[in-house]
Amino acid sequence: MTPNQTLNGRYKIIRSLGEGGMANVYLAHDLILDRDVAVKLVRFDMQDDLSAIKRFQREVLSTTELVHPNIVGVYDIGEEHGMNYLVMEYVEGTDLKQYIRDKFPIPLDQVVNLMGQILNGVQTAHRHGIIHRDLKPQNVLIDTHGNAKITDFGIAIANQQSSFTRTNAVIGSVQYLSPEQVRGHIATQQSDIYSLGIILFEMLTGKVPFEGESAVSIAVKHYQDQLPLVKDFNDKIPQSLENVVLKATAKNPTDRYKNVAEMADDLKTVLEPDRANEPKFIEDSLTDRTIVLDQTEINQNLQPEEIEKTRPIEVKMNNRYNNPRPPKETSKNSEEEMHRPKHRHPLRRRALFTFMAAVAFILGIFIAFKLSSPQMVQVPSLEGLNQKEATTKLSKANLGVGKITKEADDKAGYNKVVETLPETGKYVQEGIKVNVVISKGPNSFDVDNYVGSDYTSTKKQLEDKGFKIKKKEIATDRFDDDRIISQDVISGQVVVPRVTTITFTVAK
Length of the chain in terms of residues written: 508
266 is catalytic: no
Catalytic residue among 48, 49, 134, 225: 134
Q: Is 40 annotated as a binding residue?
A: yes
**Of 237, 319, 5, 265, which Cα lies nearest the Cα of 116?**
265
> How far out from the chain centre does Cα 342 lie?
81
Prior bond of 105 cis (ω within 30°): yes
Cα separation, 296 vs 139, whole angstroms: 56
Q: Hey, which bits of 351-460 come out as E strands?
A: 376-378, 400-407, 417-421, 427-429, 433-439, 445-446
With residues binned 3-state (H G I as helix, E B as strand, rest as coil), the percentages for the chain, rounded to 5, are 40, 20, 40
DSSP 294: P
Cα separation, 243 vs 226, whole angstroms: 14
Cα separation, 347 vs 344, whole angstroms: 8
307 CB-contact burial (10 Å; exposed 0-12 / middle 13-18 / buried 19+): middle
Cα separation, 150 vs 56, whole angstroms: 17
> How far out from the chain centre does Cα 472 lie?
43
> For the chain, how long is the longest CA-to-CA vector?
134
In contact, 132 and 156? CB cutoff 8 Å = yes
Q: How far is CA 245 from CA 80, 274, 422, in A?
A: 45, 19, 30
Q: What end-to-end distance do the CA atoms of the chain give, in Å?
A: 70
DSSP β-bridge partners for residue 420: 436
428 CB-contact burial (10 Å; exposed 0-12 / middle 13-18 / buried 19+): middle
Amino acid 384 reads G
Cα separation, 462 vs 460, whole angstroms: 6
Q: How far is CA 144 from CA 35, 68, 88, 103, 204, in A?
A: 17, 18, 17, 13, 21
Cα separation, 228 vs 246, whole angstroms: 9
450 CB-contact burial (10 Å; exposed 0-12 / middle 13-18 / buried 19+): buried
**Of 97, 101, 100, 104, which Cα lies nearest the Cα of 493?**
104
Q: Within 13 Å of residue 215, how many CA atoms lie on the same side as its CB?
A: 8
Binding residues: 40
- Which residues are known catalytic residues? 134
Binding residues for ATP: 40
